[in-house]
A and B are shown apart, each in its own frame.
Chain A
């Protein structure tokens, strides 16, 4: 088990991670969900032994890996958020280079190189320079390099940021395969709720350096079991209507985005009626009203008052 206890990291006077507790069991797929700047990357950098914590511990099978990073490094694969590749080299050359520094050589290296390139779907274009690839293809090579030495644990830091939907789906399927079929332990960070929902057994939600909630998707959404989310689409934005809604004590949260509004309200049958009454009073036309099943996004909104993509 990979575990963090009271992990804390302070950069100058900025607290990036504060008292974070997290664990991964062998074979699990864990999601670390949070908006940009939540501290996810710092968290996994400490867990990957690349950054020293200010305080707290990270252990693998009970052994302190901060003091002895070489306990875990041979079995750890890290897919950083940056494209950590040599862009002047081809995918094949990158894979060969990193394979060599992971002490693979000869036929074994060649075999693994072709395997990972096949896994990420780039075997046919392996001789092209990485700088000529699309963003999605570059991210796939990024993953391939992390898998060369057949790690037991893979940490992926937002591996689908800024890429096309096709590559994104490919990567998500690949992660699922690695976890379910090859038994790799996966720690996956993202600010896309749907990715984490799809891939992960358990989820940690982070915000402002703190782990604010943890559990399976069902456990997390049950936080909002007494609440429901209503999505409104208005004909146009109306500040006084927004203000009026926010003043209602039976409305828990109001979030506005252009002419769309999201309300969190206790589950009551007359919610919609009361909302329409208020709209009529303010002469606001509601084009559509949609009662949502709570999502992780809603959970985050409930816990922080902000959306994941703010």
Chain B
């Protein structure tokens, strides 16, 4: 078996054109797709920056003072007034909003304070993308609404520039989310009868951040397409080996091997092993290049590397099995049709189903289900989970399925391959 394996690797190594296509072409595609579709993934970081003019008509201290006076004049018992007074001192929705915009979202939003006239002028001159107007009495009305339950509306105004409609809409959404969050917390407090004095300040961190299960950033487009292209191009190794088998069959090299009395399993196993080794090299090379050149899969973690290594080996075995069955069919039929069809058509379909081109979450559920049963689909999920730092337990179901599939395909290839004792 080693004799066959070494021979197959030597032949592939000397076919420079095929080698470059298999090993380096995927990296070219990764770069193209990764840059072209940047922003598709959550981990791509800030894809934009917006300039917002802040028109602050509201005076916080004045609002609190007015509220305090109204509270004093209200019919509430004194024991209730004092905590509300204290709460009002610390509860400032405007301050919370500005903290989010100026600090938490400082990478995306540049806030500049100015008058309304200046803001409108700058919007017209396209020097700012949006205007946020905090109207007069905003703090006062908000306190009235929250603590006294008065039906008073405190409205933030967002004016979007036509030249930056998309960015303006995003900013508007941020402000709307803030308002909704604030209203929700207030309503919840009212329903539950929570002491409004003990109302916690609205936490707006989840407006900005996407939820992630682990501490690592969500996957970026470069990482996604590194994985996608790696698992897709592995199929080409399998079909390339089957094509070589066709050449050997056509040129009667396989007949020579039959005549030698060598068990056909050695020939088949040599092909499978060659595919496995090349797949490991290919995927390792792609992940390595992506890490070094495209700064993917950071921060570095040995745990994650080992998990990715395990997935790679198991996937390579699956690709080896696929190479085996393609070889078996090719030698048995004496035709290169299956290998060609696999390379030109079936690989693309599997890649689409498995999510190599676009995330499967954008596809219909039935397609997602089918895709989750393809070897590349299983492995894409496994790689992404591993990259997120999830434990082996979370990845294990995918790997188990993959291993079973590998075993079944390999058994089929042994069954199909022409036997030694029979004359063909």
Stretch touching chain A among B253-261, B283-291, B301-309: B253-261
A208 interface residue (CB < 8 Å to B): no
A76 interface residue (CB < 8 Å to B): yes
A97 interface residue (CB < 8 Å to B): yes
Least CB separation from B251: chain A residue:
A82
Contacts of B257 in A (CB 8 A): 101
Q: Judging by beta carbons under 8 Å apart, are B259 and A73 in contact?
A: yes
Contact flags B393-424 to A (C-beta < 8 A → 1, else 0): 00000000000000000000000000011111
Contacts of A80 in B (CB 8 A): 252, 255-256
Count A/B pairs, Cβ under 8 Å: 73
Q: Which of B7, B250, B256 contacts A89 (CB 8 A)?
A: B7
Q: Judging by beta carbons under 8 Å apart, are B259 and A85 in contact?
A: no
Q: Judging by beta carbons under 8 Å apart, are A51 and B423 in contact?
A: yes
B209 interface residue (CB < 8 Å to A): no
Q: Judging by beta carbons under 8 Å apart, are B256 and A84 in contact?
A: yes
Q: Bound state CA distance, A51 and B258, in angstroms?
A: 11
Q: Judging by beta carbons under 8 Å apart, are A74 and B261 in contact?
A: yes
Which of B11, B250, B253 gathers the greatest number of chain A CB atoms within 10 Å?
A: B253
Q: Bound state CA distance, A66 and B423, in angstroms?
A: 7
Q: Bound state CA distance, A225 and B180, in angstroms?
A: 114
Q: Bound state CA distance, A69 and B261, in angstroms?
A: 9
Q: A52-B424, A70-B261 are in contact. Are A85 and B253 (CB under 8 A)?
A: yes
Contacts of A52 in B (CB 8 A): 422-424
B10 interface residue (CB < 8 Å to A): yes
Contact flags B1-22 to A (C-beta < 8 A → 1, else 0): 0011001001100110000000
Contacts of B252 in A (CB 8 A): 80, 82, 84
- Secondary structure dominating the interface of B: helix
Q: Bound state CA distance, A101 and B14, in angstroms?
A: 22
Q: Bound state CA distance, A74 and B261, in angstroms?
A: 7
A98 interface residue (CB < 8 Å to B): yes
Q: Which of A51, A70, A97, A149 contacts B424 (CB 8 A)?
A: A51
Q: A50-B423, A52-B424, A97-B3 are in contact. Are A86 and B11 (CB under 8 A)?
A: yes
- For the complex formed, measure the closest distance between the CB of B198 and the CB atoms of chain A, giving whole angstroms: 79
- Of the four ranges (under 10, 10 to 19, 20 to 34, 35 or more), the interface on chain A belongs to 20 to 34
B262 interface residue (CB < 8 Å to A): yes
A88 interface residue (CB < 8 Å to B): yes
- For the complex formed, measure the closest distance between the CB of B273 and the CB atoms of chain A, giving whole angstroms: 15
Least CB separation from A48: chain B residue:
B259
A125 interface residue (CB < 8 Å to B): no
Q: Judging by beta carbons under 8 Å apart, are B423 and A88 in contact?
A: no
Q: Judging by beta carbons under 8 Å apart, are A50 and B258 in contact?
A: yes
Q: Bound state CA distance, A66 and B424, in angstroms?
A: 10
Q: Judging by beta carbons under 8 Å apart, are B423 and A83 in contact?
A: no
Contacts of A238 in B (CB 8 A): none
Q: Bound state CA distance, A50 and B249, in angstroms?
A: 12
- For the complex formed, measure the closest distance between the CB of B271 and the CB atoms of chain A, giving whole angstroms: 13
Least CB separation from A102: chain B residue:
B260
Which of A48, A70, A78, A86 gathers the greatest number of chain B CB atoms within 10 Å?
A: A86
A242 interface residue (CB < 8 Å to B): no
Kindly identify, within residues 129 to 168 of chain A, every residue whose CB is under 8 Å from any CB belonging to chain B.
129, 145, 149
Show 22 residue pairs from A and B whose CB-CB distance is below 8 angstroms, ordered by the A residue.
Answer: A50-B255, A50-B258, A52-B422, A52-B424, A66-B423, A68-B421, A70-B261, A70-B421, A74-B261, A78-B255, A80-B256, A82-B251, A85-B251, A85-B253, A86-B11, A89-B14, A93-B10, A100-B3, A101-B4, A102-B260, A103-B260, A145-B256
Q: List 12 additional A-B contacts (Cβ < 8 Å) besides A52-B422, A88-B10, A102-B260.
A: A50-B258, A69-B423, A70-B420, A73-B261, A82-B250, A83-B251, A85-B253, A97-B7, A98-B260, A101-B260, A145-B256, A149-B260
Nearest 9 CB-CB pairings of A with B: A84-B252, A52-B423, A88-B14, A80-B252, A101-B260, A100-B3, A82-B251, A88-B11, A82-B252
